[in-house]
Structures are given as structure tokens and as C-alpha cells.
Amino acid sequence: PERLSAAHEAELFSPARFPVLGSAGRDMLRRLVAHPHAPTFHDFSGHRLTPTQLTEAQARHGQLQRAALPVRHDARDAPEWAAAWVRQLAASVPAHAGLNGPMPAWPSLPTTSRADFSARLAQHLPRGLPLDRLLCFSTSGTTGHPLKVPSLPEVAADYQAYHDRALAHFGLHRRAGEGDVGIVLAGFQQRCFSYVSVNPLHGECGLVKLNLNPADWRDPSDRALYLDALAPELVSGDPLSLSELAGLGLQHRPRAMLSTSMALHHGLREQLQGRFGCPVLDLYSMNEVGPIGVFDPALDGFVLLQPRLHVEVVDSAGRPLPWGEPGEVTVSGGFNPCLPLLRYRTGDFARLEPTAQGPVLRGLQGRAPVRFQRADGSWVNNVEITKALAPMPLVRFALHQRADGRLCLRVDSRSPLSLIAPSLRAAVESRLGPGLALAIEPLEADDKLRQYTSDLDGTPPPC
């Protein structure tokens, strides 16, 4: 193993990132970074939980494991906590000040969307947020509305409580503790946030966020050697990164894999389960909401995970629909006090249907992964296009690839299209190469626009 410099250790063990860090945690961080087959880690991160916050998080996690979802007799039922919660929002969130008064009927409450948050985020935040502890996550989404999601360290810690609920639905419970690596978060992008950390809720077991892009490794073969040495209990990623992982020749078999961020096709899930010999959980999750549901093949739908998240399906006018009718998935509540969601339209469509295990979302049309083909036949993840266009002064954009390989980029910009077209072309060509025909046109569409589409078969290849 490499010997870490004093400066590197000071960053790695930063008290600001790790207010609580024992000797086991220090040993784990050193091991993860100094392993001879470790990748380049571009960033530093940590749980940022104080001793008091850690104790509170442990208590919340215990409560969440026991909490039942509210019983619903009708898909159009409002949650029992609705009236008190709306009054709280009216008093603390500027965008909802007009709701101060008698509680309106739930269907008459206005819906909100990502476009609202993107345009006026400050108006949707509660007053008095602890700015010195605030975290902020950036997300681009599928509708072309970039968004920064405010959060807190304890909110980030609570994510794993809902992942644990998803695992428990299939009879799985975490075992990793001191000296183990609990989870590897795998990306497969040109550039992604990568770091090592520890989980203070499970004996300071290791947590690694890495990029499978060979450019982040001394040698491409190091990817399998490093992951086999870590032997993580869980692996999380999206369908693109998990598909890449399946081709690396790993000997290790995690206890479970979690697929997030994009729709996971049934065929790929079956291939991954056959390759790794473990359950592959398909999580329906959003940065604004956190984990919403986990797919249960026996129920043919997503079982809901959050006891304090009200999920409804609405029509185009925002009216709740009865069981079994397709509409837009809309959520209220959640576990992030920095971004309370009142009838937040997700942009995804499904049916809400009752089962013996509670409501499930069936027929979900979510955010499927879209890949674009270069002139040489290789594929590029749509995330790379988002990153390439990020510096551009765009309000929204959409990219479509026709069956003959031609591309059409439609943009909504505050700058004249004639001025920025050369830069847009250069940005797209930096990822897809100069050999493809690219048309750049003005964008005229509502906020339900799908940002990435293709007439080519850009789904992940078989493992």
C-alpha cells in the first residue's frame, strides 16, 4: 500500500467531515485510499454527524424499521397529517403563504413541479434553515430543468434507512460492521464525484464512491482487483454502471445490488442476478424525494418505502385518480425538511393499485437510460451530454438521435441561438465526435419534455 502524506491524511480525517471518527474508521479510510489497486479519488467527503446527531439518527433508523405505511381505502384519500402540515407550510414557506386559512379540499391544492423549483427555489424553502450546516446537491433531471437540492447531514444519513426498508422487503439485513466495506457506489461516467467514507451507523464500515471509467485507474484491470479486495456487502449503481461492472470478471459476489436513477429493464436485472448470484433491487428514487419505492416482481410493481410520503396519481388538471387509472406520480411530504414537497409532480407516469402489502406503482414510465451512438459505433451515456452542455447558458435542452444517426439538439436559451450555436456544437462533438450530422434548433415545448430520446437501440448490452 502507498504511504499517505500528512497533508492527505489531514484532508482524509477532517474533523469537519468526520466529527466522530474512531481508530477503526481511520484504518478503513487509509485502506480504501492506499490500496495498491485503488483508483484516483477526486474528492473528499464525510458523514458530518456530530455525536448528538449520530444518536438521533440511530433512533430514527430504528423507528423507521418498525413504521408501517398508512392504510388507504381509496387512492384519492388525503394523508391524515395533511391539514396540520399544510398549515405549517403556509406559515414557513413563502410559495405556500396563500394557503394560510381553512384547509382546502386536498384535490384543490395546487400542484408543484421541477420547473417551479428551478425558477424560484428560494420561494419553496422554509425560513430559518441552518445555513452553516446546509448541503447542496445538483441534479439535471430529464425535463431539462437544472435544480439544486438543499439538504442536511442527517437527511443524507436517513437515505440508508429507506434502503434498509427496501432490503428488508426481500428478507435482507445489513451485516457489515467494523473492518468491512459496507457499500460501493459505482458510476460509469467521464467524470463523477468520487471519494471514500465510513458509515458511523454500522461500526464505521467502509463506503466508496468510485468511477468505473478506465481513465480513473492506473490500469483497467485494477477495477476488478480493487473491488474483489474490498468485497463490499452491497453494490449500488445505475443500469449503465452495473452493466459495465458485470463485464469486469469480478470474483466477489455482493449480498445484494441496488439499481437507482434510471429504469432497470427486466432482462438486465435477470442477467445481473445470474452473473452475481444475488438479488438486484430496482429502486425508484429521485434527488428531490429520495427512495420512493422498490420493485417487487411478485407484485409487478413498486412497493412504497416512506411512511411520511404521500403518493398519488393525478390527471393533467392535478385531480387525484382512483385505483388503477394511469396518471402522473405526485408526492407530498418526505424526509427532507429543507425541501418540503406539496403535491410535487414527478414527471413520471404510473397506476396506483392496492395489494395485500399496500399500494404499489405499476406500469411506471420513468427515466430510462438513453445512450447516443458515435460515428464509430461506440455508445455515450446521456450524462456525458449533460456535463458537456452544463457551461452553456441554457434554460432547457433536448437531444434526439434519429435512426440514421443524425442528431437534433433543441435549446431554450437566454442568449441568441446564433451566438452560442458554435459552442453548443463543439460541446456535443467533444463527447460524440465530429463525424455525426448535428442540427441545432430552438426548443418550443412544455415542461413535460423528455430531455433525451433516440430512435436507435441504446439500451445497455447483455452482460
When pLDDT is averaged across residues 240-245 and rounded to a whole number, the result is 88
Q: How many CB atoms lie within 10 A of CB 143?
A: 23
Q: Model confidence at 448, in pLDDT bands (50, 70, 90)?
A: very low
Mean pLDDT of 424-439: 92
What is the pLDDT averaged over residues 267-282? 92
Mean pLDDT of 110-133: 90
pLDDT of residue 461: 37
DSSP 280: E
Query: What mean pLDDT comes out for the span 117-133?
Result: 89
Distance (Å) of CA 252 to CA 178, 246, 405: 19, 11, 39
Q: Is the dihedral of CA 402, 403, 405, 406 positive or negative?
A: negative
| pLDDT reading at 373 higher than 70 | yes
Contact 386, 400 (CB under 8 A): no
Tell me the β-bridge partners of 196.
208
pLDDT at res. 368: 53
Q: Are 390 and 430 in contact (CB under 8 A)?
A: no
Distance CA 70, CA 359 (A): 10
| Other beta carbons less than 10 A from residue 132's beta carbon | 5
- Mean of the pLDDT values across residues 169-185? 97
Range with the poorest average pLDDT among 2-6, 249-253, 324-328: 2-6
Cα 79 to its chain centre, rounded Å, is: 25
pLDDT of residue 45: 95
Confidence of residue 383 (pLDDT cuts 50, 70, 90): confident
Q: Does residue 271 register a pLDDT over 90?
A: no
pLDDT score, position 435: 79
What is the C-alpha to C-alpha distance for residues 126 and 339, in angstroms, rounded to an integer?
8
- Residues 94-120: pLDDT tens digits? 999 999 888 889 999 999 998 888 888
pLDDT (average), residues 145-155: 83
Which pLDDT score, from 0 to 100, does residue 2 have?
Answer: 65
Q: What is the mean pLDDT of residues 281-294?
A: 94
Q: What is the mean pLDDT of the chain?
A: 90
d(CA 84, CA 87): 5
Q: How far apart are CA 69 and CA 380, in angstroms?
A: 40
CA dist list (Å): 228 to 40, 78, 235, 248, 273: 17, 48, 12, 11, 18
Helix (H) or strand (E) holding 211: strand 205-211
How many other C-beta atoms lie within 10 A of the C-beta of residue 438? 17
The helix/strand/coil state of 75 is coil
Report pLDDT for 93. Answer: 96
Assess whether pLDDT exceeds 50 at residue 3.
yes
- pLDDT for residue 436: 83
How is 321-366 classified by DSSP, letter by letter?
A: PPTT--EEEEEEE-S-TTS-EEEEEEEEEEEEE--TTS-EEEEEE-
pLDDT reported for residue 364: 86
For position 367, what pLDDT does the model report?
A: 56
| CB atoms closer than 10 angstroms to residue 170 | 11
Q: Which three cell numbers stand for residue 327?
A: 396518471
Ranking 36-50, 96-110, 305-319, 363-377 by mean pLDDT, the lowest is 363-377
For residue 447, the Cα-to-chain-centroid distance in whole angstroms is: 20
Grid cell 459505482 in the structure block, residue: 186
Q: Is residue 217 within 8 Å of residue 243, measured between CB atoms?
A: no
Other CB atoms within 10 Å distance of the CB of residue 167: 20
> Which SS3 state, helix, strand or coil, does residue 106 take?
helix
216-231: average pLDDT: 97
- The dihedrals phi and psi of 185, each to the nearest 5 degrees, come to -100, 110
Give mean pLDDT, residues 360-371.
77
Does residue 142 surpass a pLDDT of 70?
no
Contact 322, 277 (CB under 8 A): no
Section 374-380 average pLDDT: 88
370 three-state secondary structure: coil
Q: Which of 99-103, 106-110, 198-202, 288-292 has the lowest mean pLDDT?
A: 99-103
> 52 Cβ partners below 8 Å, 6+ apart?
none
Which of 32, 46, 28, 23 shows the shortest CA–CA distance to 2?
32
Tell me what pLDDT residue 345 has: 95
Q: CA 190, CA 224: separation in Å to the nearest integer?
A: 19
End-to-end CA distance of the chain: 32
**Closest residue by Cα to residue 262 from 161, 168, 171, 187:** 187
Claim: this prediction has a pTM higher than 0.75: yes
Which of 15-19, 46-50, 70-74, 232-236 is the least confident region?
70-74
Lowest mean pLDDT among 71-80, 142-151, 225-234, 433-442: 142-151
pLDDT score of 88 more than 90: yes
Secondary structure element (H or E) that encloses residue 415, with its range: none
CA distances to 21, 162, 262, 404 from 457, rounded to whole Å, are 47, 33, 16, 12
